[in-house]
Amino acid sequence: MTQRLALALALCAVLAPSALADDISDFTDALGQAATGAIVARAYIEACDKHAPDGQQGRRDALAGWSHRVNLAGYERFLDAAYAVINTLEAELEDNRARAQALVDADVAENAAVCSDLRATLEGNAMFDIAPPIRYLLRNAEDFGVVVPEAPTASANQDEAVVPLIALSAQLEDKMDEIGSKSGAQEDRNLRSAREEHAEAWLKQRPTLAVLGRIVTDNGLREWRGDQQSSFLLTCRSFASDDQESAMARDLGENRVVVGDIRWVRDLRQGGELSLDDCRVLADAGDSLALLGPADDSAGLMLRPLDYDEAFAGPGQGIAPDAVDRVLYDADFTNRLDGFGNGYTQRDEDIYVLLRDGTAYRHKWNFAFTDLNLDLSRLREPERWFTWQDRRGEVTLIQSGGPDQGTEIDVSDARRLTPAPKGLRLDETYYYLNIGMGGGRSDREYVFAADGQVQYSRSGFVAGAFGTSYIIVVGGDEDISTAAYDFDGFTLLVDGPEGQERHFFALIDGQEAGRPDEILINGQVHWLKQDE
């Protein structure tokens, strides 16, 4: 159905007598456009639910996103006020609604294709572009004697006290689901915005928010519960004073109550983020406080990513070498421009460990996969695990868990990695260089000597996960160290000042082991420095 409904609205006799005929015509036209879009959109929902019941949640998500984009709530507030002024309006709209429902129902019964992607219909058909007429109605309503009330706000809960972040996360997830589903919001930014604004409005009923959790960064809070954590991260965008900001940094790893004013809510692919202003950190771990929250807060939980100490099982306590079929290095280096016109290199480097049992692991730690806590990794890093198959050289990974479960990755062109051969000694210099966004330069060198000594920058060895989002190394000669080195399979051993350090190391298959053109240290390729 594409035609506009003919609303026979007898407005001239009931609207403000001072209104000009042209103004009344514009007003009537705007009302007709808004009513047509609203009535027909809802008619499609009812008809599709009747004739194509599969996909109901997706259609409701589409309607919620569209409603937010056009401000349907504002139109409904206008109607409530207009009914008191235009006595025939409600009956005429109901008559048009019934006629539209019959027409749409007949269309959908004949061809239900529109039901499979209602969002595209609502976004692509001019009939549903009713944001401009709704703005016109709200802006000019009083000129026609229609007084539209402000958007209502729910009354504040005066009993609010300290709420644990897991409980608050569950409440936020429930609030946003009142508008539409999380999965739908990932495909529809209008629905995502509607979910966020609904949650923000609910939170802003409180004058301030007091949240209990664990300080995980110098401005971030999560609540931990065993292998899980709160699905929402709380961040402080500003502090009440410098002392409060220092307290947040000082108490890293401790449970604390953070109090602040709501800034915004973000609905992310996994969980979300709640941002506060004017934060204060209470010197209380929450043990002596009255805590509020739902009895069942499971909706506010997600898996807690491993930290370094949890992921590292110990030397040789991880994936057994004889369980490995092959190790692959899949890399892509792309030159890009940032928002200021500066060139930078986006480095995407992935290490995949393919096991003989048909599973595979994306390795993102600085230590070798042979040191990985395998049980915890399978439990807490499901997004890094795959199954794999090799069909005549076409190697495919299928993601086993996480939000991208079922996604296939072609690694047929990835290069094979090999461990360092026993007794390997290098006598060359290898360097890493990367120009990041904003023109920031990261570089370092490793000068290996045949006598078993290596000279390197201390900033080059960083405990933690590697990957494009995790490590930034600042170059410079002010912190150069020399230490003994050795190799043990996929591990580079360095006798550092604080004891032996273990780092992931690999060679590219097919290159000369004694003088390779490239080596991998901590998952990042380093190139042989040629004589100048």
- Which stretch of DSSP H or E encloses residue 65? helix 56-70
What angle, 0 to 180 degrees and rounded to 10, lies between the N-to-C axes of helices 189-203 and 165-177?
130
Cα separation of 155 and 151, whole Å? Answer: 13
Cα separation of 18 and 367, whole Å? Answer: 80
Assigned token pair, 499: 């004891």
Q: What angle do CA 130, 94, 132 make, to 5 degrees?
A: 10
Asked whether the beta carbons of 116 and 55 are under 8 A apart, the reply is: yes
Assigned token pair, 34: 């808004």
Domain ranges of the chain: 18-144, 163-303, 309-418, 428-528
What is the structure's pLDDT at 85? Answer: 87
Asked whether the beta carbons of 351 and 329 are under 8 A apart, the reply is: yes
- The residues that bridge with 50 in the sheet, in sequence order, are none
Q: State phi, psi for 312 to the nearest 5 degrees.
A: -85, 110
Cα separation of 85 and 81, whole Å? Answer: 7
Give whole-number Cα distances, 213 to 226, 258, 446, in Å. Answer: 13, 8, 41
What is the structure's pLDDT at 293? Answer: 66
Asked whether the beta carbons of 130 and 37 are under 8 A apart, the reply is: yes
Q: By C-alpha distance, which of 207, 75, 45 is closest to 141?
A: 75
Q: By C-alpha distance, which of 413, 306, 310, 402 is closest to 352?
A: 413
531 three-state secondary structure:
coil
Cα separation of 72 and 204, whole Å? Answer: 22
Torsion of CA 194, 195, 197, 203, to 10 degrees: 160
Give the N- to C-terminal CA distance of the chain in Å, as an integer. Answer: 73
Asked whether the beta carbons of 31 and 136 are under 8 A apart, the reply is: no
Asked whether the beta carbons of 175 and 202 are under 8 A apart, the reply is: yes
The separation between CA 396 and the C-alpha centre of its own chain, rounded to angstroms, equals 26
Q: By C-alpha distance, which of 511, 364, 494, 518 is closest to 431?
A: 518
Cα separation of 140 and 90, whole Å? Answer: 20
Q: Spell out the per-residue pLDDT of the chain, length 532, in tens.
A: 545 454 444 444 444 444 555 678 888 899 999 999 999 999 999 999 989 888 888 888 888 889 989 999 899 999 999 998 888 898 989 998 999 999 999 999 989 888 988 888 898 899 999 999 999 999 998 888 899 988 765 443 434 478 999 999 999 999 999 999 999 998 899 999 999 999 999 998 877 889 999 999 999 999 999 999 999 999 999 999 999 999 999 999 999 999 999 999 999 999 999 999 999 998 766 555 556 667 789 999 999 999 999 999 999 999 999 999 999 999 988 877 766 667 777 889 999 999 999 999 999 999 999 999 999 999 999 999 999 999 999 999 999 998 899 999 999 999 999 999 999 999 999 998 877 666 666 778 899 999 999 998 754 444 444 443 333 333 444 568 889 999 999 999 999 777 899 999 999 999 998 899 999 999 999 999 987 6
Asked whether the beta carbons of 437 and 524 are under 8 A apart, the reply is: no
Assigned token pair, 250: 């000082």
- Which stretch of DSSP H or E encloses residue 163? strand 162-164
Assigned token pair, 390: 């090799």
Q: By C-alpha distance, which of 91, 79, 69 is closest to 141?
A: 79
Asked whether the beta carbons of 5 and 40 are under 8 A apart, the reply is: yes
Asked whether the beta carbons of 206 and 292 are under 8 A apart, the reply is: no
* One-letter amino acid of 473: V
